[in-house]
Amino acid sequence: MLYHIIDIRIYDDKRGRLVRLEIESNNILRKEYFNGIFPYATGIIFDDNDRNELVGIARDENGNFICDWNTDVVYKLVFYDVSSNRSNRSNQNSSITSKIWNWLMLGGSILIMWIGSTIASLWSNLYEDIFKMLSYSQALNTQLEKTYFSIRMILLLGFSTIYVVSMICITPPLITSSWKKIKEYFKNIEMENLRYNASSPVSLNF
């Protein structure tokens, strides 16, 4: 059976007070005991004045702290940096959102170009049919042909109008967004990499 032989003092920054802990005879501070008192802490450190450095207390394979504890030393807690973790998550989410938006912009641009080329091709075919009718007197003989030609022209005119309006509404935001990304890219470039190292002047020895 293990008995505690010494008491150590740990300063709790959260509480602003010293906390006394009991150490077992094998110099082990059990993980469950530590976590029960300091659930928000992840480790223990102390100041080594002889070496002018901070020393972290090691853990064994079970996560227990083991050390040659000194009752004259005031130990300190190491806390989990919640704000830094949230900031990293926020940056990661922002990066993922930015990548998704870039892919959507790329896909939208390709789709718009494809629709534009398709509409241009359809208009070209329609002009060719009209040219044949005017040049070679190839009139539309049946009512079905006339109806098909009229519907074809109306639909193409409607799609063209929608495409032009969409381009007017979508193109300015796309250009603005792209311009902002370009400016942000150049702002993030380290100025050291953009400096021009001029060559030393040539000495003129006569």
Which residue has better confidence, 4 or 27?
Answer: 27
Residue 20 is predicted with a pLDDT of 92
Per-residue model confidence as pLDDT tens digits over 149-179: 788 788 888 888 887 887 777 777 767 776 7
Among 81, 86, 70, 84, smallest CA distance to 43 is for: 81
Question: Any idea which residue has 């906390």 for tokens?
Answer: 19
Which of these CATH numbers, 3.10.20, 3.40.50, 3.30.1120, 1.20.58, describes 4-80? 3.10.20
Residue 206 is predicted with a pLDDT of 44
DSSP helix/strand/coil, 169: helix
Which stretch of DSSP H or E encloses residue 44?
strand 41-48
Residue 46 is predicted with a pLDDT of 92
What's the mean pLDDT in 176-183? Answer: 72
Please answer whether residues 95 and 85 qualify as being in contact, where contact means their C-beta atoms are separated by less than 8 angstroms: no
**What angle, rounded to 10 degrees, do the helices at 82-136 and 143-188 form?**
150
pLDDT band at 140 (very low <50, low <70, confident <90, very high): low
- Count CA within 13 A, CB hemisphere, residue 36: 7
CA 166 – CA 23 distance, rounded (Å): 73
Dihedral over Cα of 101, 107, 111, 114: its sign: positive
Per-residue model confidence as pLDDT tens digits over 49-102: 888 888 999 999 999 999 889 888 999 999 876 555 555 555 666 667 767 777
